[in-house]
Amino acid sequence: MITHPVPAIRTYVLVWVGLIVLLLLTLGSAFIPLGWGNAAINLAIAVAKSLLVIFFYMHLRSAHYVLRIAATAGFFWLAILLGLSLTDFVTRY
Amino acid sequence: MTEAVVVDRQFDDPLQQRKASDLGMWVFLATEILFLGAMFVAYTASRIHHPEAFAIASRLTNLTLGSINTGVLLTSSLMMALSVRSTKLGLRTASIVFLLATAVLGLAFLGIKFTEYYLDWRDHLVPVIDFAHRGPHAGEIETFFYLYFFMTGVHSIHLFIGIVMVLVLAWMAWRRHYSPDYFTPVELGGLYWHLVDIVWIFLYPLLYLVSRT
Amino acid sequence: MSTLMLPVRGNYLDEGFSLWSWLSSVDHKRIAILYTISITMFFFVGGVAASLIRLNLVTPTGDFVSAETYNKLFTMHGVIMVWFFLIPSIPSTLGNFLVPLMIGARDMAFPRLNLASWYLYIGGGLFTVGALIAGGVDTGWTFYTPYSTMFSNTHVIAAAAGVFIVGFSSILTGINFIVTIHKMRAPGMTWFRLPLFIWSMYATAIIFVLATPVLAMTLFLLAIERFAGVGVFDPALGGDPLLFQHLFWFYSHPAVYVMILPAMGVASEIITCFARKNVFAYRSMAFAVLAIAVIGFLVWGHHMFVAGTSVYSSIVFSILSFLVAIPSAIKVFNWTATLYKGSIHFEAPMLYLLGFVGLFTVGGMTGLFLASLALDVHLHDTYFVIAHFHYIMVGGSVMAFLGAIHFWWPKITGRMYSDRWARFAAIVVFIGFNLTFFPQFVLGYLGMPRRYHEYPPEFQVLNVLSSAGASVLAVGYLLPLLYLLWSLKYGPRATANPWGATGLEWQTSSPPPVDNFASIPIVTAPPYQYEPPEGPHPNPSAGQKGEGSEGAVGARDGLS
């Protein structure tokens, strides 16, 4: 039988607490008028939550580098699609 | 111990098989990111073209139910992660319990989501079928709600697939298919579940929190 | 020699002769054959549409078909040739066959997924053919909105559904290739010992998995918008038609590299073999392939210079488009340098690939015309564009596909074809191709727009030349079909390595056994061993790799 090093339950629960705190933060910040800052905070918090899930729940923190590259490639290519099409959408008028 | 690990003929050993499955799943997740990402690009372009309409429309969504649902889904991810951990350690009962908890929370999410859909329908906010919003930007608000239903609908389909998958995993775990030597399906199922969760993590602020001030 | 060393198990062709033994096989070699038969059928369906188009354009008044039929014909030609022939062509046939053989594996990482991808291909094909039989589609292969969502009265949703499904076939193939190349390599097969064909398959697979899902989502949005009358593309609904074009070309421009990168891989294998000289600057070739795959994702906006995108965006995309010429040029220079002072043999595969290098260069250089902002205003949507991309796709991809089929035919079928006929066909294809498409450069530059079923009478001479060339080309494509099929029954048996090529696939018998190798080879050297390590004296056995593996090493007869 192979034994696998696994993170402690505590780690998983702490990450969950972090996720819920971030959820409350993003919800609360939405009611403070900050103009475009609201959207920026919302997105930053969404990214932070995703990173928590990816690194801890999806174990990318300890994963082989090829798996990290595969995960990064997905998001990176999405950034290409979004970024280069934005060169058009935000400068058209 | 359970039955011996079966290695397909193309592989040399179980480790190679497991690594191949892991990479295959992550590459598949990368395609999912691009597949679902394309609808986020469509959302972004529409929002850039119609910022005021999106602000008005977002205020018409049900923030309470949406926020509760986000919490439900984040908790389901915790359950999923714990079930993967239990499987790796060979804790069969715990693994089954956590898998069932994941599925129940997933179903709860869908239940809340469809309650929301019902409330939207009652408020005449369903494009094509019954959309009665009047006033400035009515057309663009309809576009927002089209995106809202489309994106949450696509997400719900993914979640539904995930629930079926988790239930199958629980059944297989009950049949003693998994052990510390062989847990790849549970691990990969977990990856899929978490990705669907991440999609919602982005949907939540983009649909519910555009402008609440 | 090779007969003494036949492996214990029979070859993959003898594993079963019933139809079901083929339709249920998860052997990558059999799936490759299934794909070869299917894409050949689609190629001839698309070819018939092309022939009817050229027939109609013989006269300036469009006497042969009506304008509506003409629109449906060029849509059918485009949809079938792009998604059902060119994109799966080399990856799904030769890629499927060769990837495990070249890296020293028994099969793909996910054989059942591989078979599933063929069934998805057939399913998508049936959908699309059904749409075409039921009355056709007239949007052009690009499905541009709002025409496709609001105005077209044809079977857009069914055709889009077919393309949607076939996209998942590409994705599954791509996942399989990436995992196989990462995780299934034989001992000692390091990344820089991979044949360049494998590098090109890897780059292609990256495009498959990262671009295709965007097309799937785009077609999904399109189908809903057409069906429900609400959406994000139609300006009448508050949408943005350029959003469709951005999403569409994010897939469809890299898709062009799906067509050309495998061809480049084939060129690297065949040119080095028939020049009896190691490929020049191996590493730069490998990196150039990856660079083309990545930069190919950054250039899609050059399809939309005159569509109303912002000037700033056009400038960005124009600069990025020029960048892709750099790795492409590296490849052409390196093939040329490989030929330099080589001992060149003009067998049929080499003739096809020499044609490929020339035609690809013309196609690539004219692409730079279209990447320049000012010139594109003049050339956009003219026959210049048609000629440009046919030089890449037909002169490049199809020539390389035919060359590859000829090169690996003995390995795939265990039979030799008539080299005399094959060389004749290669020359007929080359002449027919140039006669068909070179006049279209001139037509386009003079201002003849694409997708019209009539044209001013002064363009007739060039159009007749082009149509005449199309008939020559048709003969050139039918010839290989005949003599290759003939060789299946009457061709002499092929040895394990008829071309004296290096590479693992030539070290196993022809056709290969079910699990490819009697025992998994151990790799100790780079893929190309056409020159002795030092000194000019050619010694065929010098540095041959995998010598530790018993049984599977074939005779190095033939050219050397």
Instruction: State mean pLDDT over C501-510.
Output: 93
* Domain identity same for A46 and A73: no
| Chain A residues with beta carbon closer than 8 angstroms to that of B204 | 23, 26, 46
Instruction: Report the residue of chain C nearest A83, measured CA to CA.
Output: C298
pLDDT at B133: 82
What is the rounded distance in angstroms from the CA atom of residue B182 to the CA atom of residue A1? 10
**CA C102 to the chain's CA centroid:** 19
Q: Closest by alpha carbon to A47, among B163, B31, B40?
A: B40
* Domain identity same for A72 and A58: no
* Domain identity same for A11 and A52: yes
Answer whether residue C545 shows pLDDT above 60: no
pLDDT at C139: 93
What is the rounded distance in angstroms from the CA atom of residue C162 to the CA atom of residue C175? 20
Answer whether residue C5 shows pLDDT above 80: no
pLDDT in tens, B14-42: 999 999 999 999 999 999 999 999 999 99
Instruction: State mean pLDDT over C491-502.
Output: 94
What is the rounded distance in angstroms from the CA atom of residue B167 to the CA atom of residue C166? 30
Q: Does C177 touch chain A (CB under 8 A)?
A: no
What is the rounded distance in angstroms from the CA atom of residue A2 to the CA atom of residue B1? 11
Question: Is C74 within 8 Å of C451 (Cβ atoms)?
Answer: yes
* Domain identity same for A85 and A41: no
**CA C433 to the chain's CA centroid:** 16
pLDDT at A92: 86
C37 phi and psi, to 5 degrees? Answer: -65, -45
Q: Closest by alpha carbon to C408, among C348, C358, C354?
A: C348
* Domain identity same for A4 and A14: yes
What is the rounded distance in angstroms from the CA atom of residue B132 to the CA atom of residue B128? 10
* Domain identity same for A57 and A74: no
Using 50, 70 and 90 to split pLDDT, how confident is the model at A1?
low
Q: Does C61 touch chain A (CB under 8 A)?
A: no
Look-up: residue for tokens 């390595």?
A: C497
Residue C121, token pair as written in the block: 């291909």
pLDDT in tens, C111-157: 999 999 999 999 999 999 899 889 899 999 999 999 999 898 889 99
The enclosing H or E element of C217 equals helix C196-228
What is the 8-class DSSP label of residue C109?
A: S
pTM: predicted TM-score of the whole model, two decimal places: 0.93
* Domain identity same for A33 and A50: yes
Burial (CB count <10 Å: 0-12, 13-18, 19+), residue C99: buried
Residue B44, token pair as written in the block: 């972004």
* Domain identity same for A20 and A9: yes
Residue C478, token pair as written in the block: 């039918």
| Cβ within 8 Å of residue C17, ≥6 positions away | none
Look-up: residue for tokens 């694409």?
A: C450
Look-up: residue for tokens 């008829």?
A: C498
* Domain identity same for A10 and A38: yes
pLDDT at C133: 83
Write out the residue range of the structural domain in which residue A77 sits. Answer: 63-93
Question: Is C290 within 8 Å of C196 (Cβ atoms)?
Answer: no
pLDDT at C558: 35
C58 phi and psi, to 5 degrees? Answer: -65, -35
Residue C378, token pair as written in the block: 């003049």
With CB atoms and an 8 Å threshold, state whether C316 touches A81. Answer: no
**Right CATH number for C28-506 from 1.10.150.80, 3.30.1120.10, 1.20.210.10, 3.40.225.10?**
1.20.210.10
With CB atoms and an 8 Å threshold, state whether B180 touches A1. Answer: yes
Q: Does B83 touch chain A (CB under 8 A)?
A: no
* Domain identity same for A37 and A4: yes
Answer whether residue C547 shows pLDDT above 50: no
A-B contacts (CB, under 8 Å): 136
Q: Does C112 touch chain B (CB under 8 A)?
A: no
Answer whether residue C356 shows pLDDT above 90: yes
Q: Does C184 touch chain B (CB under 8 A)?
A: yes
Residue C347, token pair as written in the block: 């067998």
| Domain count for chain A | 2
- B193 vs chain A: nearest CA distance in angstroms? 10
pLDDT at A2: 60
What is the rounded distance in angstroms from the CA atom of residue C333 to the CA atom of residue C339? 10
Instruction: State mean pLDDT over C5-27.
Output: 82
- Please state whether the peptide bond connecting residue C511 to the residue before it is cis, i.e. omega within 30 degrees of 0: yes
Q: Which fold has domain B14-208?
A: Four Helix Bundle (Hemerythrin (Met), subunit A) (1.20.120)
pLDDT in tens, C256-300: 999 999 999 999 999 999 999 999 999 999 999 999 999 999 999
Q: Closest by alpha carbon to C396, among C499, C280, C262, C505?
A: C262
Average pLDDT, chain C: 92
- What is the distance in angstroms between the CA of the first residue and the CA of the last residue of chain B? 58
* Domain identity same for A68 and A41: no
Using 50, 70 and 90 to split pLDDT, how confident is the model at C534?
low
With CB atoms and an 8 Å threshold, state whether A1 touches B67. Answer: no
Using 50, 70 and 90 to split pLDDT, how confident is the model at A5?
confident
pLDDT at C9: 60
Burial (CB count <10 Å: 0-12, 13-18, 19+), residue A33: exposed
| Chain A residues with beta carbon closer than 8 angstroms to that of C246 | 81, 85, 88
Q: Does B126 touch chain C (CB under 8 A)?
A: no
Instruction: State mean pLDDT over C500-523.
Output: 92
Q: Closest by alpha carbon to C290, among C322, C330, C252?
A: C330
| Cβ within 8 Å of residue C129, ≥6 positions away | C45, C162
What is the rounded distance in angstroms from the CA atom of residue C205 to the CA atom of residue C211? 10
Answer whether residue C84 shows pLDDT above 70: yes
What is the rounded distance in angstroms from the CA atom of residue B49 to the CA atom of residue B46? 5
